[in-house]
Amino acid sequence: MKQKLTEQNTQPDIILKGSTFSETVDGIKYWEIRSVSSNLNKEKGSAHLESINGIFFNNDKPVLGVAAPSADWDLNKKEILINSPVGKSVLKLDKNKIIYKELNNGGFVFVAQKMKWGLSDKKLVCSGGVILKKEKSVAKGDLFESDVLLGQSVLSGNPEALVNDNIKIVSDKFILKSADNSINVSNGVKLTSGNLIIYADNGKYIEKQKQANLWGNVSSVYQDITAAGKQIIYKPDEQSVSLSGEAKVIKSGVVLKGDIFEFSLKSKNVSGHGSISAVYKDIYATGGALFYSEKDKTILVSKNVKSEKDGNVLTGENVIIDLNTGRVNLKGKSRAVITENQLATIEVK
């Protein structure tokens, strides 16, 4: 008898074709779903829907469209579980026809294995093989949590993002914000773009500004250039990297330290500002600004310059270190204290 009763409780009471269901509380509609067929079980307070197309609302405005092969609605918990959903941002309804937003105009598309929405918190929770596309970015992960507007979403479970087809971002967790179309990462981040690799504690990629800001303990590697500091700004369109906060750059045997450095991924030139120092073999120079020329293999140190080589002390407006010859040249007003074994070539103009 018990087995028969259990079997009876799992039997659908009503089988419907071409029906529409909705979750409406206190006159507020949260979602509406149309199904090709559906099975209702009054005893369990559940409904199984096949071949669905649905719309989720925010303040009576349609914002999210969902299509899926099936869904299960728990009427008691007021939760709906959608299987293999495809979600798209909705622009408007035109005579019951859904008009979706374009990806390049604030729109988004996502897929997952499961999607759950509940009245208690009014949150979307997508799990399993989540893929989210927004404008020029694609993000993937195991778990996705958001509201129906996708105003601020959390992507976790081995998340990674590909921006503009050439910037890959990996971290423990992403916070995606639609206001500035940004990807915010924390607890360790790795950004890869071509031969450039950047590591940091935290980071943010802003699509509108087309730049990545990374901070904390940051480091980067690009061909023969390694760098470290407290903050890095990477501008892919300009192919430039700015480094600040106890910054250090090592290139071709040259060690540069200072407040701010910027290097070009195209020319591989390095410029620096603030309190600057440069060390190359037995040459040491300090100043307020610096320019490393990849083409000429020279370092120009300027603004209150002091340079030392084999006991020789050179001070002046500008010092040029020639990496090819190992010589130090002075430009502008200068003063030199030379030892008996002079190894520096001095030019005063």
Tokens of 207: 């699509």
Of 88-102, 249-263, 334-348, the one with minimum mean pLDDT is 334-348
Q: Are 62 and 37 in contact (CB under 8 A)?
A: no
User: 51-78 burial, b for 16+ CB within 10 Å, e for fewer?
Assistant: ebebbbbeeeebbbbbebebbebebeee
Q: Which residue has the tokens 């195209």?
A: 266
How are the residues of the chain apportioned to helix, strand and coil, as percentages rounded to the nearest 5? 5, 70, 25
- pTM of the full structure: 0.85
Please give the pLDDT value at position 141.
97
- Checking if the pLDDT of 5 tops 60, the result is no
Integer Cα distance of 328 and 256 in angstroms: 16
Instruction: Provide the residue count of the chain.
Output: 349
Give the helix/strand (H/E) hosting 8: helix 2-10
Closest Cα to residue 289, out of 330, 317, 253?
A: 317
Q: Are 110 and 124 in contact (CB under 8 A)?
A: no
Tokens of 174: 């992403």
Please give the pLDDT value at position 7.
40
Residues 167, 171, 176, 179: is their CA dihedral positive or negative?
A: negative
Which phi and psi (to 5°) does residue 104 adopt?
A: -85, 10
Domains assigned to the chain:
1-158 (2.60.450.10)
Please state the rounded mean pLDDT for residues 12-36. Answer: 90
Reported in sequence order, the residue ranges of 236-282 that DSSP labels E, i.e. its strands, are 240-251, 254-264, 270-280
Please give the pLDDT value at position 180.
85
Please give the pLDDT value at position 336.
53
DSSP state, residue 104: G
Q: Please compute Rg for the chain using Cα positions.
A: 31
Quick one: what percent of the chain has pLDDT higher than 70?
Answer: 91
Please give the pLDDT value at position 1.
32
Q: Are 63 and 90 in contact (CB under 8 A)?
A: yes
Mind listing the pLDDT tens digit for each residue in 204-228? 999 888 899 999 999 999 999 999 9
Please give the pLDDT value at position 6.
38
Integer Cα distance of 318 and 300 in angstroms: 7
Give residue 121's pLDDT band: very low, low, confident or very high (50, 70, 90). very high
